[in-house]
Amino acid sequence: MRERYTSQSRELIQSIADMLPKDAHPEAKLFIETLYAQIPFEELQRLPISKAFGMSYDTFLFAMQRGKDETKIRIFEAVESTHGFESHHLFLQILNKDKPFLVDSLTNEVARLGFTLHASYNAVFQIARSDKGELQYISDSSEDSANRESFVHFELSGLPEGMDARDLQNHLEYVLSYVDLTVDDWKSMHNKAVEARDAVSHASHFNQTDIDEALDFMDWLMHKNFVFLGYLSVDFSFEDAAPNPKIDRSSLLGISKIDDIPLEINVGPQLVDVRKASRYSRVHRRTLMDVITVKRINEDGQITGEHRFYGLFTSSAYYQSAMSIPLVGRKIEQLLKRSGFTSYSHNAKALIAILQFMPRDELFQVSENDLFDLSIGILALETRPGVKLFARMDIPRRYISAIVYVPRELFSTDVRNQVTHTLEKHFKARQENFETQIGESPLARLHLVMRTTEQTPDVLDIDTIEQEIATAIMLWPEKLQ
């Protein structure tokens, strides 16, 4: 680790460590060196040296004691007489066994709670402790993972009105419990994915092409393209030909053990289905979770239940070629055949480009017919840019996915807000997520995911809404004059 120091950072860190009192613990110096070796030098330079020392030495004293599997959280306002430095920010520090998803999950939670994050540091230490949790020594080797401890440091705006330090700690402990379950049950969830794949391979009553596609997708999913957060098994009993789903409570893994996820019926023709859950992830990324449903089929070809995996597609799943992703690649191949465009024609290349840059969630979830209408509609816009709205409601009627194309030169934050307001008004829905794309194309794209309400109409009047949006956008430049 020391080899990573630059000469400048080495000198600065040494000057901080030299401020230790003579009677300091013998491991304090290595602790400070290890801490600041993992903080960007530019960040360290911004700290007054007295604060850098006071903060690091106070942190060392905080880390002196930690019980086995204990998560230590402290929330405080720094006072010179107590902590050795002062700051007008609220300090939040967490010392925990090192594991994946800690920093991003905690960062997302403090943002969700309305805090402004002024500074964030994290470091991993190799700490040997006594049976009582007392710090004995700090290792300078990264080979031993048994004693890896993660330290997370946030400097925040003050506590929001109506929240005290105990409330904040409760929120953080709740998120950490999700992280613990995700990490502890990861191997078991992966094994369930292998089990589901094996079951698909024996679904002899299905078309072999569909079986092969489902197998390829499960292989792809398990190849670092999906973060498994939760799992449950659903059993079906049929009453009057209607499926009656029931969760097998003994099957719960990961976040399913503590998160009461609504159970929507999903008896479609596909062996494997991809949808959005109704809950946000508290682990890794704060976004709506994805649900992978794999049918369980008995020897008679009857659907007897489902494997359900809750989680998030990894970043690699969003940036790799759409053509290479099972299920999605097949949709695109079928669409290209249906279009009638010759392989190397301009239209075929333009259509492939449209599909490659389509919101990846849409490619997973939209039907082949809807995807054809959407992509051909976008292709028509390429030659004559204008305002165009595409919208669909998911099968359980929980969300509306709306894609709005606007001439690039007219798009702005104000226009985005105007479009969102118009859609919320007509759909009787509220915005959950949005994503914009502005590139070399003459069109800017706004993708909105909106949660439905009881007032959301069954049929969406797309043409009327599109015309209202177009009129408002075309008049917008005049409003600014």
Question: What pLDDT is recorded for position 475?
Answer: 66
Give counts: helices (H), strands (E), the chain: 16, 14
Q: Which of 449, 406, 407 is nearest to 424 (CA)?
A: 449
Q: Is 60 exceeded by the pLDDT of residue 3? A: no
Q: Is the Cα dihedral 111, 112, 113, 114 positive or negative?
A: positive
Dihedral class, residue 305 (left if φ above 0, else alpha if ψ from -120 to 50, else beta): left
- Per-residue pLDDT of 77-134, as tens digits, reads 988 888 888 888 999 999 999 999 999 999 999 999 999 999 999 999 999 999 999 9
| pLDDT band with cut points at 50, 70 and 90 for residue 212 | very high
- Residue 124 CB neighbours (<10 A): 16
Find out whether 438 and 475 touch, Cβ atoms under 8 Å: no
Residue 33: its pLDDT value, please?
94
Q: How far apart are CA 380 and CA 393, in angstroms?
A: 23
* CA distances (Å), origin 65, targets 58, 84, 219: 13, 19, 44
Burial class (CB in 10 A: 0-12, 13-18, 19+), 169: middle
pLDDT at position 127: 93
Number of C-beta neighbours around residue 219 at 10 A: 14
DSSP states of 90-102: EEEEEEEE--TTH
Among residues 453, 414, 452, the alpha carbon closest in space to that of 436 is found at 414
Q: Read off the tokens for 129.
A: 């402790």
What local confidence, expressed as pLDDT, does residue 260 receive? Answer: 75
pLDDT at 451 over 80: yes
